[in-house]
Chains A and B, each alone.
Chain A
Amino acid sequence: MIEFPAFIHVPLAEWTDAAMDWILRVFSDVFDVIGDAILFMLLYIEKFLLWLPWTLVIVLVGIVAWRATHRWWAGLLMAGFLVLIGSFGYWDLAMMTLAIVIAAVIISLLIGIPTGIAMARSNLVETIIRPILDAMQTMPSFVYLIPALMLFGLGKVPAVFATIIYAVPPVIRLTNVGIRQVSPDVIEASRSFGATPGQTLMEVQLPLAIPSIMVGINQTTMMALSMVVIASMIGARGLGLEVLLAINRIDIGRGFEAGISIVLLAIIIDRITAGLAPKQEHPAS
């Protein structure tokens, strides 16, 4: 009675393997198409970022940060951070990392916002999706990195895929919360004037949920950035790979430079996306 009896055995591992085999056999074409689409998008973003003159990027980031935060010194600071990253010799790698983050965030929003809306509109959908989100956020990322590899092969696509799985929950959750916290009085008034559910969503619920959704977008972006180191293990080039190589060589200085570059990139993206969110002068409740 001390040891758990061996005959109680749920063969989840076998089932998962079988399911994976089946998916690979039946849907491999589908995943090829998805993979090609992601890669196509990613390469264009990467090409564009690398094509931009570094001076222009620095000036633009400085101006946008200044406008978003309403502080001139914040603009200068953000521009300075980029100069620092360039001075480490990581400009191109930083742009590649940024491309992966941007691609992952765009796809995350395309998936996440509609999912959040669906969750807000139905308690059943919320009950179903919530544990899935919990799993996505707590499951060790290697568990889905390997299947991602099997589905998309080595390279940038599985990296984007894994990044999406890790980064999409915040925007889903905060879209859901943002819509649900809109005052029922306003929704009732909208209904009383003959607004269809779709009109109430577009005219009332989504606009009032925007501050919350923007926080979600900010969080999603941050999580995507934090995933790049792990994603580099399956072949995505960028700052993450540099960290990985430095660690393998026990080159502490190089590792720190690459690591601090990721942090600086994170700060820049965070301040800009947070600053772009409308201030909550008129809380929804």
Chain B
Amino acid sequence: MAINNIYPQNEEVSIEVNNLWKIFGDNVEKVLDSDTQFAGKTDILEKTGCVLAIKDVSFQVHRGEIFVLMGLSGSGKSTLVRCILRLVEPTDGKIFINGENVCDCTARQLTELRRHTVSMVFQYFGLLPHRNILENVAYGLKIRGMAKSKREAKAREMIELVGLKGWESYLPSALSGGMQQRVGIARALSTDPKMLIMDEPFSGLDPLIRRQMQDELLDIQEKVHKTILFVTHDLHEALKLGNRIAIMKDGEIIQIGDPEEVITAPSDGYVREFVQDASPAKVLTAKRIMEQPNVLLYEWQGPKTAMHILESTELDNAFVLGRGSKFRGLVTVERLLEIIKGGGKSIMNALEPEPLRCTSDTIVEDLFPLVASTRHPIPVVDDDGKFLGEIHTSTILGSMIQDKETEPSD
């Protein structure tokens, strides 16, 4: 998949879940041993009185990615992530964290795992109401037995990272929901874990704050590069944050894929229903809809050559590139004429000031303000400034209509 190149991704597996089962009830073996395991959730409840929470789930989370587990409430996603740290004991199956089988861990190993390798962020924050923000953030380190001055220094650093400097001495109840969750994130990061498990961390927040927190999480992830397993019931959140998304229904994972796969090729009716109201503008990236221009100019070409090329193709503007396809800017026919009249020798003098640009992973929604502010096409460039393609207003509008119906073009 082309999309995998967009996110610098290591294929090293951080969390691996194999054939995991969780059944709540008294006759658990009965369900696993008999044929009833192939039955549905309601059948199992009727026949054995057991509640099937997770049914034969397998997936892998790669190092450094944000893996989103999405499903409606009751689909078993919260139980699933709790099984990974054995906050809930799995009934059957294997879980590996960095190759270590969590299910075989002794109590001591499990404690070490929770203290050093994986941290959790919770929907209802789980902050200690009787401790101030500083002590809350330092809690994971205190549990480890770290000295007070050392753990508080680390906690202050984390509080600053999540933008809560100045709130150290307040109790959690003095903070808004969004701020409390920042404390939760700071607390989780303070132990320097390799992985984060975030169980619907933003679901309890109002939409505006939620979006802000999502942006901040992405910013923080830029700095810390953790492996994140993120649980949500909100498709837009999944599409925004996830490098890959797994969709859960009735305790099973019914599709795993990157956001574009999920939205353009839903595996069954359930997923389709889920993504129906998702706007393609939130998923489609510039890379996906960009086109190659008919004409490109180069910085070493003279103004008269450029004028000739544009006239012969009946265009009134074109992008100018340097060596190695480096993007330089945009020239228009009017500016070229002015330069020629003035006797200028280089087309670089004719460049439009501060041309707009976007990167290949810019989502269509973020292109709207750009196309609105110019009548020229938008250039797509990579991180090194290399020109990749262009986007016209008409292309954007086309993508919005077309993608509702068709299969992915690649």
Report which A residues bind B (CB closer than 8 A): 185-186, 188-196, 199, 203-204, 207-208, 281-282, 284
Contacts and interface: CB of A to CB of B under 8 A. Distances in A.
B142 interface: yes
Contacts of B114: 191-194
Contacts of B112: 194
A204 B128 contact: yes
Contacts of B144: 194
30 contacts: A185-B125, A185-B126, A186-B127, A186-B128, A186-B129, A189-B122, A189-B127, A190-B139, A192-B85, A192-B119, A192-B120, A193-B115, A193-B120, A193-B139, A193-B143, A193-B191, A194-B115, A194-B116, A194-B143, A203-B142, A203-B143, A204-B128, A208-B128, A208-B129, A208-B130, A281-B173, A282-B129, A282-B171, A282-B173, A284-B129
A282 B129 CA distance: 6
Contacts of A193: 114-115, 119-120, 139-140, 143, 187, 191
Nearest to A204: B128
Contacts of A186: 126-129
Contacts of B187: 193
Interface string B101-139: 000000000111111100110101111111000000001
Interface of B: 85, 87, 110-116, 119-120, 122, 124-130, 139-140, 142-144, 171, 173, 187, 191
B59 to A, nearest CB: 21
Contacts of B124: 185
A199 B142 CA distance: 10
A24 B112 CA distance: 51
A284 to B, nearest CB: 7
Identify whether the interface residues of A are mostly helix, strand, loop, or mixed. Answer: helix
Nearest to A199: B143
A211 B122 CA distance: 26
Given A188-B126, A191-B87, A282-B129, 5 more contacts: A185-B124, A189-B125, A193-B143, A203-B142, A207-B130
Task: State the 4 A-B residue pairs at the shortest beta-carbon distance, nearest first.
Answer: A189-B126, A194-B115, A194-B114, A282-B129
Nearest to B144: A194
A195 B143 contact: yes
A237 B124 CA distance: 56
Contacts of A208: 128-130
A194 B122 contact: no
Contacts of B120: 189, 192-193
Contacts of A194: 110-116, 140, 143-144
Contacts of B142: 203
B119 A203 contact: no
Contacts of B111: 194, 196
A284 B110 CA distance: 27
A206 B14 CA distance: 36
A284 B126 CA distance: 11
Contacts of A191: 87, 114
A213 B139 CA distance: 24
B83 to A, nearest CB: 13
A188 to B, nearest CB: 6
A260 B140 CA distance: 54
A188 B122 CA distance: 9
B143 A185 contact: no
